[in-house]
């Protein structure tokens, strides 16, 4: 059984992927998740930027796809959003 964790925007917080119940991406590219708990806590995974390098419209769907792929790999994995060479992508590494 694998565990998949996601790094929050600040890099200090890690969110376990199976605790996420809702992903939201607004018009600025800000990506937030709502966690499965009674307080309905939301955490920002990616800060938006109104005029800058906005992630692609399907960036949150790419995260879901990666989580599903990593769930079958085994071990503990960490996912991070990266903006490199003008493109956004998700990366994963052993934790």
Domain boundaries, the chain: 2-94
Q: Return d(Cα 67, Cα 21) in angstroms, integer.
A: 13
Specify the pLDDT at position 50. Answer: 61
Specify the pLDDT at position 1. Answer: 56
Whole-model pTM: value is 0.86
- Predicted confidence (pLDDT) per residue in 23-72, tens digit: 999 888 889 999 988 778 888 998 877 666 788 989 999 999 999 999 88
CA 25 to mean position of chain CA atoms = 11
> For tokens 């390098």, what's the residue?
53
| Joined tokens for residue 1 | 């059984």
Strand partners, 25: 31
Specify the pLDDT at position 87. Answer: 87
């Amino acid at each position: 059984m694998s565990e998949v964790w996601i790094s929050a925007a600040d890099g200090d917080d890690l969110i376990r992927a199976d605790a996420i119940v809702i992903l939201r991406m607004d018009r600025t590219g800000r990506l937030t998740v709502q966690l499965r708990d009674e307080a309905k806590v939301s955490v920002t995974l990616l800060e938006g930027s109104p005029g800058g390098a906005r992630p692609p419209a399907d960036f949150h769907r790419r995260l879901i796809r990666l989580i599903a792929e990593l769930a079958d790999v085994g071990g503990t994995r960490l996912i991070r959003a990266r903006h490199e060479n003008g493109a956004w992508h998700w990366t994963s590494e052993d934790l």
